Amino acid sequence: MNDKLPLRRATVHDVARQAGVSLATVDRVLNGRPGVRPATAEKVESAIAALDFRRDLSASLLARARDLRVQFILPDGRNEFMANLADAILRRARTGIAERLHLDVVRVKAMDPAALAARLGQLDRKSCDCAVIVATDDEAVRRAVDGLARKGVAVMTLVSDLPNSARKMFIGIDNVAAGRTAASLMGRFCGGGKVALIAGSLGLRDHQDRLAGFREVAAREFPQLELIGPFEAHDDRGETESFAAGLLRDHPDLKGLYNMGAGNSGLIAALEAAGRAGKVRVIAHELAEPTHAGLKSGAIDVVLDQNPDGEIRAAVAGARALALGHPVDPHAEPIEIGIFLRDNLR
Amino acid sequence: MNDKLPLRRATVHDVARQAGVSLATVDRVLNGRPGVRPATAEKVESAIAALDFRRDLSASLLARARDLRVQFILPDGRNEFMANLADAILRRARTGIAERLHLDVVRVKAMDPAALAARLGQLDRKSCDCAVIVATDDEAVRRAVDGLARKGVAVMTLVSDLPNSARKMFIGIDNVAAGRTAASLMGRFCGGGKVALIAGSLGLRDHQDRLAGFREVAAREFPQLELIGPFEAHDDRGETESFAAGLLRDHPDLKGLYNMGAGNSGLIAALEAAGRAGKVRVIAHELAEPTHAGLKSGAIDVVLDQNPDGEIRAAVAGARALALGHPVDPHAEPIEIGIFLRDNLR
DNA sequence: CCAGCCGTGAGGTACGTGCCTCATGAGCTA
DNA sequence: TAGCTCATGAGGCACGTACCTCACGGCTGG
One domain, residues A271 and A325: no
The answer to whether position B148 is within a domain reads: yes
One domain, residues B89 and B112: yes
Taking 80 as the threshold, does the pLDDT of residue B237 lie above it? yes
Which CATH number do you get for residue B21? 1.10.260.40
The answer to whether position A338 is within a domain reads: no
pLDDT category of residue B4 using cuts at 50, 70 and 90: very low
CA distance B54 to chain A (A): 6
A124-to-A121, A155, A248 alpha-carbon distances in Å: 8, 11, 51
Rounded Cα distance between B199 and B209, Å, is 11
The answer to whether B99 contacts A57, with C-beta atoms less than 8 Å apart, is: yes
pLDDT category of residue B3 using cuts at 50, 70 and 90: very low
Can you tell me whether residue B297 is helix, strand or coil?
A: helix
Of the candidates A157, A129, A126, which has an alpha carbon nearest to the alpha carbon of residue A141? A157
Nearest chain B residue to A181, by CA: B343
The residues that bridge with B304 in the sheet, in sequence order, are: B285, B339
The confidence score (pLDDT) of residue B334 equals: 72
Distance (Å) from CA B269 to C1' D9?
75
If you write DSSP's letter for every residue of B311-334 in order, what string do you get? HHHHHHHHHHHHHTT----TT--B
Packed helices B38-51 and B12-19: angle between N→C axes, nearest 10 degrees:
120
The answer to whether position B91 is within a domain reads: yes
The answer to whether position B163 is within a domain reads: yes
Can you tell me whether residue B170 is helix, strand or coil?
A: strand
The answer to whether position B340 is within a domain reads: no
One domain, residues A281 and A180: yes
The number of domains in chain A is 3
Of the candidates B270, B244, B316, which has an alpha carbon nearest to the alpha carbon of residue B88? B316
Residues 38-57 on A with a CB inside 8 Å of B are 54-57
Can you tell me whether residue B76 is helix, strand or coil?
A: coil
pLDDT category of residue B7 using cuts at 50, 70 and 90: low
The confidence score (pLDDT) of residue A317 equals: 86
Taking 60 as the threshold, does the pLDDT of residue B1 lie above it? no
The answer to whether position A144 is within a domain reads: yes
One domain, residues B183 and B251: yes
The answer to whether A100 contacts B334, with C-beta atoms less than 8 Å apart, is: no
Chain A residues whose CB is inside 8 A of the B58 CB are 57-59, 61-62, 99-100
The answer to whether B183 contacts A99, with C-beta atoms less than 8 Å apart, is: no
The answer to whether position A33 is within a domain reads: yes
Which CATH number do you get for residue B150? 3.40.50.2300
A184 touches chain B (CB under 8 A): yes
A131 touches chain B (CB under 8 A): no
Indicate if the alpha-carbon torsion angle B317, B323, B325, B328 is positive or negative: positive
One domain, residues B102 and B19: no
Rounded Cα distance between B299 and A33, Å, is 58
Can you tell me whether residue B101 is helix, strand or coil?
A: strand
The confidence score (pLDDT) of residue A138 equals: 86
The answer to whether B61 contacts A58, with C-beta atoms less than 8 Å apart, is: yes
The answer to whether position B60 is within a domain reads: no
Helix/strand/coil (H, E, C) string of chain A?
CCCCHHHCCCCHHHHHHHHCCCHHHHHHHHCCCCCCCHHHHHHHHHHHHHHCCCCCHHHHHHHHCCCEEEEEEEECCCCHHHHHHHHHHHHHHHHHHHHCEEEEEEEECCCCHHHHHHHHHCCCCCCCCEEEECCCCCHHHHHHHHHHHHCCCEEEEECCCCCCCCCCEEEECCHHHHHHHHHHHHHHHHCCEEEEEEECCCCCHHHHHHHHHHHHHHHHHCCCEEEEEEEECCCCHHHHHHHHHHHHHHCCCEEEEEECCCCHHHHHHHHHHCCCCCCCEEEEECCCHHHHHHHHHCCCCEEEEECHHHHHHHHHHHHHHHHCCCCCCCCCCECCEEEECHHHCC
Among A55-69, B133-147, B162-176, B284-298, name the one with the lowest average pLDDT. A55-69
One domain, residues A36 and A184: no
One domain, residues B194 and B248: yes
One domain, residues A96 and A165: yes
What residues make up the domain containing A150? Answer: 63-172+309-333
Q: Where are the alpha helices (DSSP H) in chain B?
A: 12-19, 23-30, 38-51, 57-64, 80-96, 113-121, 139-150, 175-190, 205-221, 237-250, 264-273, 289-297, 308-323
The confidence score (pLDDT) of residue B12 equals: 92
CA distance B292 to chain A (A): 15
Average pLDDT in chain B: 87
User: CB less than 7 Å from strand D: which protein residues?
Assistant: A 8-9, 11-13, 23-24, 27, 30-31, 53, 55-56, 59-60, 62-64; B 20-25, 28, 34-37, 39-41, 59, 62-63, 65
One domain, residues B294 and B325: no
One domain, residues B49 and B124: no
One domain, residues A26 and A77: no
CA distance B44 to chain A (A): 19
Taking 60 as the threshold, does the pLDDT of residue B122 lie above it? yes
CA distance B188 to chain A (A): 6
Taking 90 as the threshold, does the pLDDT of residue B98 lie above it? no
The confidence score (pLDDT) of residue A191 equals: 81
Rounded Cα distance between B301 and B322, Å, is 40
Going residue by residue through chain A, which has 346 residues, state the pLDDT in tens, using 9 for 90 and above: 333 333 567 899 999 999 899 999 999 988 888 888 888 889 999 999 998 888 888 888 888 877 788 999 999 877 788 898 999 999 988 888 777 788 999 999 987 889 999 999 998 877 788 999 998 888 999 999 999 888 778 899 998 888 889 998 999 988 999 999 999 999 988 888 899 999 988 877 788 899 999 999 999 999 999 999 799 988 888 899 999 999 999 999 999 999 999 889 999 999 999 899 889 999 999 998 899 999 999 999 999 999 898 899 899 988 888 876 666 777 766 788 889 989 888 7
The confidence score (pLDDT) of residue A31 equals: 84
One domain, residues B119 and B80: yes
Query: What is the per-residue pLDDT across B295-339, written as a single tens digit (0 to 9) for each?
Result: 999 999 999 999 898 899 889 888 888 876 666 777 766 788 889
Averaged pLDDT for residues B79-85: 87
The confidence score (pLDDT) of residue A206 equals: 84
